[in-house]
Amino acid sequence: MNGKAFLDTNILVYLHSSDEPQKQRISMDLLSLYQCCTSVQALNEFCYVGIKKQRRTRAEMEAAIGKIENFCQVNMVTVATITDALRLHEVYGYNFFDCLMLASAIEAECAEILSEDMSDGQIIEQKIKIVNPFKVIP
């Protein structure tokens, strides 16, 4: 096991979608490689994608969230998280919602955040490394 890693929304989406089988397989492999963590924000975004873009039912989304809870620590977003995200946005220039993910990952004391949306390899606050687990896909 590689330690504690924060799963960004895209990882959760790929886990529950067969549209991109290679990314789904990689996402599934991550579950055995890391102690996984995510946030309520990621679950909110996951539900939005599931309902709006994938046309999933309430029952399907509830089942998916139940599965996520089984393999992931899910952290709340607090006022302190939001304040930290605002500072990270100012320093690093990522959009606010990506900074909210970063702030949540730092609060959870994750060593890595797994995401395809940010700069692979970048170290944030000398605390967390951004890792794109899909960078090997052509």
The per-residue pLDDT for range 29-59, each reduced to its tens digit, is 999 999 999 999 999 999 999 999 999 999 9
Global pTM reads: 0.94
Say how far apart CA 51 and CA 58 lie, in whole Å: 8
For residue 81, being part of any structural domain is answered with: no
For residue 122, being part of any structural domain is answered with: yes
Write a three-state SS string for 89-116. Answer: HHHHCCCHHHHHHHHHHHHCCCCEEECC
Say how far apart CA 5 and CA 32 lie, in whole Å: 11
The per-residue pLDDT for range 98-137, each reduced to its tens digit, is 999 999 999 999 999 999 999 999 999 999 999 999 997 7
For residue 37, being part of any structural domain is answered with: yes
Residue range(s) defining the domain that contains residue 119:
4-75+110-131
Give the pairing type, strands 128-131 and 123-124: antiparallel
Q: Is 18 helix (H, G, I), strand (E, B) or coil?
A: coil
Residue with structure tokens 């067969």?
Answer: 18
For residue 42, being part of any structural domain is answered with: yes
For residue 87, being part of any structural domain is answered with: no
The per-residue pLDDT for range 23-32, each reduced to its tens digit, is 999 999 999 9
Say how far apart CA 32 and CA 1 lie, in whole Å: 7
Q: How many domains does the chain have?
A: 1
**Residue 9's CATH number:** 3.40.50.1010
